[in-house]
Amino acid sequence: MSFSWPRVLTIARREFLSTVRRKAFVFTLIGMPAYFAFVSWMAIKPQIAERLQALKSLTVLAVVDSSGLYHGARREIRTEYSPGDNPFSTTSGSPQVQWFRTEVHLYPDQKTATDSLKAGRVSQVLVIPPDYLATGKLRRYACQSGLFSSGADRPVTRWLVANLLADRVDSMRIERVVRPLRGLDFYAMNRQGQFELRDERREAFDFLLPMSFGLMLGLCIVIGGQYLLQGVSEEKESRILESLLCTVSAEELLGGKLIGLGGAGLTLVAVWMFMGASFGGPAAALAQIHLSPALFFFMLTYLLLGYLFYGSLMTGIGAVTNNMREAQQFAFMFTFANWAPFIMLTSIIGRPDGRLAVGLSLFPPTAPVTMMIRMSVPGGPAVPEWQVGLSMALLAAAAWFALIGSARVFRIGLLLHGKTPNLPEILRWARSG
């Protein structure tokens, strides 16, 4: 039977339509971004709320001063909080500042102060030992402590510094001592050789943007490969493949599945990028994040090569296994490599030109996700052209060998039932077909 492109395209159309019409695909298409957005919001929103709550709950601070340094200290702490301190705030311009007031009550001894704390008359207790000036040691007591209870550190620090320097230094110098970097504008050189302003919002996007691109690319590659794995395993288990092979060749069936399910993966990418631009675009524009069109070209290229590499492996696994459970067990060993860069995410983002990042971006199984993370780091060093070219060449070569080997295994393993072949047998099929 000669190879026929019309039959390949017919199979591809059938695979694409049967995949995108599934409820699971629609859920993945819409539910996955919504799920990650919800999880991110749930992770970030409570942190901000907890920090604000820590400031609000510090209404009365009990101070036991054994050093004698704070007998004449002010009996009030006023703390400001600006929504601009939140790196995920979408507020631009001059946001309204919130002020929190804390009363300071002096107590003669620690027991009286802690009894008032247990009775709920004070929020926290600060004990200043006699040798505080020499050692800097303090003790603070609270009825409960959360992960972000350190949000109350700032008002206590300001009160200690301001009153320690009172009558010795003017108020303006005290303010500068307490928050010396409050008005700091930090500029760093971008890839174009120009200095640009960096702030907390920009640093947050510098971490989240490459992670999002790498995650989206990795998900699309794995989902496309899983569709191939599932389709081949189910059809083989139900003996549908035996009927299909009466009218098409194994190569035509493999090509049609790769094209059709690859199109489904590209559909996921297109919809997710549109949703990301719609919801994240305003915040990215506010943080002055500019994405190069070349980034999307490279993302598409790595998606196709990565999908071809992993999809070929998944097809071969589906052909040699007897059921979906076996196929999933073998597939996990290969798909784990696709997610390995996220284990070293902070190292890759922190040093995108380091040996680890370069090595992972040249190693075919980890190249798509790692290179996408490196290339999307805002303000990071530009990835050398030779590394991009070498990475693509190695990935393309690996994808080609995986495709050829899987096609040979696919041809033999489709009609194989019973005992799963061992590794030497599979390698022999991949070499000789």
Task: Please tell me whether the overall predicted TM-score, pTM, comes out greater than 0.85 for this model.
Answer: no
* Residues 321 and 391 placed together within one structural domain of the fold: yes
Rg of the chain over Cα atoms, rounded to whole angstroms, equals: 30
Residue labelled with tokens 């939140």: 86
* Residues 178 and 215 placed together within one structural domain of the fold: no
Burial class (CB within 10 angstroms; exposed 0-12, middle 13-18, buried 19+) of 391: buried
* In-domain check, residue 290: yes
* Residues 160 and 266 placed together within one structural domain of the fold: no
DSSP at 383: P
Residue where one domain finishes, among candidates 184, 212, 229: 184
* Residues 222 and 347 placed together within one structural domain of the fold: yes
The domain in which residue 83 lies consists of 58-184
* In-domain check, residue 193: no
* In-domain check, residue 51: no
Q: Is residue 371 within 8 Å of residue 298, measured between CB atoms?
A: yes
* Residues 64 and 36 placed together within one structural domain of the fold: no
* Residues 272 and 397 placed together within one structural domain of the fold: yes
Between CA 277 and CA 269 the distance in angstroms is 12
Between CA 326 and CA 160 the distance in angstroms is 64
> How many beta carbons lie within 10 A of that of residue 170, not counting itself?
9
Residue where one domain finishes, among candidates 184, 218, 240: 184
Q: Is residue 124 within 8 Å of residue 117, measured between CB atoms?
A: yes
> How many beta carbons lie within 10 A of that of residue 26, not counting itself?
11
> Residue 148: its pLDDT value, please?
47
* Residues 177 and 274 placed together within one structural domain of the fold: no
Q: Is residue 218 within 8 Å of residue 338, measured between CB atoms?
A: yes
> How many beta carbons lie within 10 A of that of residue 269, not counting itself?
19
> Residue 281: its pLDDT value, please?
60
Please provide residue 360's backbone torsions phi and psi, each rounded to the nearest 5 degrees: -70, -30
Q: Is residue 218 within 8 Å of residue 272, measured between CB atoms?
A: no
Q: Is residue 90 within 8 Å of residue 83, measured between CB atoms?
A: no
Q: What is the pLDDT along the chain (433 residues), one digit of tens a residue?
A: 567 888 888 888 988 888 888 887 888 888 877 777 776 666 566 666 666 777 788 889 999 999 888 888 888 888 777 655 554 554 544 456 778 888 999 999 999 999 999 998 998 899 999 998 888 889 989 887 654 455 567 788 888 888 888 777 777 777 777 766 666 666 666 666 666 666 555 555 666 667 777 777 787 777 777 777 777 777 776 667 667 777 887 778 888 888 887 788 778 777 877 777 676 665 555 555 666 778 788 888 888 898 889 888 888 888 777 777 777 777 887 788 888 888 888 888 888 888 999 999 999 999 998 998 888 776 667 789 999 999 999 999 999 998 888 888 877 776 666 666 766 777 777 776 5
What's the total number of domains in the chain? Answer: 2
C-alpha pair distances (Å), 18 with each of 11, 180, 255, 257, 264: 10, 62, 16, 11, 10
Please provide residue 45's backbone torsions phi and psi, each rounded to the nearest 5 degrees: -60, -45
Residue type, 182: R
Q: Is residue 372 within 8 Å of residue 213, measured between CB atoms?
A: yes
Between CA 302 and CA 296 the distance in angstroms is 10
Q: Measured at the alpha carbon of residue 296, what is the angle toward residues 292 and 298, in degrees to the nearest 5?
A: 105
> Residue 386: its pLDDT value, please?
93
